[in-house]
Amino acid sequence: MADDSTKTAPKKLFIKTYGCQMNVYDSERMAEALSAEGYVTTENADEADMVLLNTCHIREKAAEKVYSDLGRLRPLKEARPGLKIGVAGCVAQAEGEEILNRMPLVDLVVGPQSYHRLPDMARAAAEGRKTVDTDFPAEDKFDHLPAREKPARGPSAFLTVQEGCDKFCAFCVVPYTRGVEVSRPAERILSEARGLVDRGVRELTLLGQNVNAYHGHPGGLGGLVRDLAAIEGLARIRYTTSHPNDMDDGLIAAHGDEPKLMPYLHLPVQSGSDRILKAMNRKHTAEAYLRLVERIRAARPDILLTSDFIVGFPGETEADFQATMDLVRSVGFGAAFSFKYSARPGTPAAERAAVPGAEADDRLQRLQALLTEQQRATQQAMVGREVSVLIEKPGRMAGQMVGKSDYLHAVHVTHPKAKPGVIGRVRISASGPNSLAGIWLDS
């Protein structure tokens, strides 16, 4: 019998992911890149040989949160000096060398466009050399990442198709941390999608900072959706996050005539006031947004719309805020994310006078109350309807499973045939604060 005693034990990698779905995707690809160096992922930082913090820079004090988390890692590093610590993502891009200056325990800093270079950086760290890579390299990182591994996957997966943003909204750091808009070639996306489907994926969510600006296919994002829909075994397609100015006719038409494109659309508007939209550099008006919603609903009447809102943007008055409330009432959103304005250093709006905190807090509470009312009404209207549900994982109760409806609602069901990866018809029987309950109909 062969002696396995000389085999090298795999190194363990712990990744903490902050922020958006694109960071979730990036963390997966970072883990795959480091697998070439012998790393396997772990859910326990205490047993890791490398800890990576994949960071987000959208909200206020994002960098300070990262430094706080690094401080909590200090005792672990002191107990195990061989532990390697890295900071990745948008805070890494924004802070760069300053991270090493403030936190000498960090071994590597890598921006979101350079993580294909992680294997080289890991080797340097093993040799005791600290590295920082926050370039926007000429090469496409996706060309240098390893082919995706073959183990089975869960039924849903993210797939990045576009990165960066050219819109330069006055409040947003994305153009500075993620760079200009870049689209991946369609054939590479289709190849990666086929590989994911071969591993058990039934639903793909296409990702981009401005995903509907995708131009790697002659038909834009709508054309890519149609080609993806032709993949046998792929049952559902979604995409996020979109800009109103890039909802072209082809994509709107796809919502109407491509059944695999789910009836759900996240379409951030940010404000209902034209004056504030102009100050935000959004390059659309409230009226243009409302007419766009009409066109989308004409193509797909049952589509569920969600959005993003910022209140308390510099210069916002009560009249501006009421214009936002009016827009919300006009559209009727199924759900939404709403935030108090958060100044991001280096953005144009950061230099402007802030709305007093108490006023911004009051407006946020009033907006969230209205959005919650609409969300609950949308969910309550689902009771009695039949929907398609993709089962993803066990629920908290014995025998219960949780899946996603066509409209992205979490749905709880109890039935022996409701297993991960199965799509079944479900009659909604009850609505809770953030989920639905249903009765499995498929025999």
Span 367-372, average pLDDT:
98
Q: What is the pLDDT of residues 53-87, one digit of tens each?
A: 998 876 666 778 888 999 999 999 999 999 999 99
Calculate the CA dihedral of residues 210, 213, 218, 224 and round it to 10 degrees: 40
Q: What is the pLDDT of residues 236-277, one digit of tens each?
A: 999 999 999 999 999 999 999 999 999 999 999 999 999 999
Give CA 390 to chain center in angstroms.
Answer: 19
Calculate the CA dihedral of residues 317, 322, 347, 163 and round it to 10 degrees: -170
Q: What is the pLDDT of residues 166-220, one digit of tens each?
A: 999 999 888 887 788 999 999 999 999 999 999 999 999 999 989 999 999 999 9
Q: Identify each DSSP E strand in 255-341 by its residue range.
A: 264-266, 304-311, 335-340
Any idea what DSSP says for residue 232? T
By residue count, the chain amounts to 443
pLDDT at residue 6 above 80? no
pLDDT at residue 143 above 70? no
Q: pLDDT-derived band of residue 1, with 50, 70 and 90 as boundaries? A: very low
Binding site residue list for [4Fe-4S] cluster: 20, 56, 90, 165, 169, 172
Give CA 224 to chain center in angstroms.
Answer: 19
Domains of the chain: 11-133 (3.40.50.12160), 141-382 (3.80.30.20), 386-440 (2.40.50.140)
CA 349/CA 170 separation, integer angstroms = 5
Dihedral angle sign, alpha carbons of residues 428, 431, 437, 439: negative
Binding site residue list: 20, 56, 90, 165, 169, 172
Supply the mean pLDDT for the chain: 91
Residue 425: strand, helix, or coil: strand
Lay out the sheet containing 264-266: strands in order across. 264-266, 304-311, 335-340
Tell whether omega for the bond before 241 is within 30 degrees of 0, i.e. cis: yes
- Residue 146 confidence (pLDDT): 62
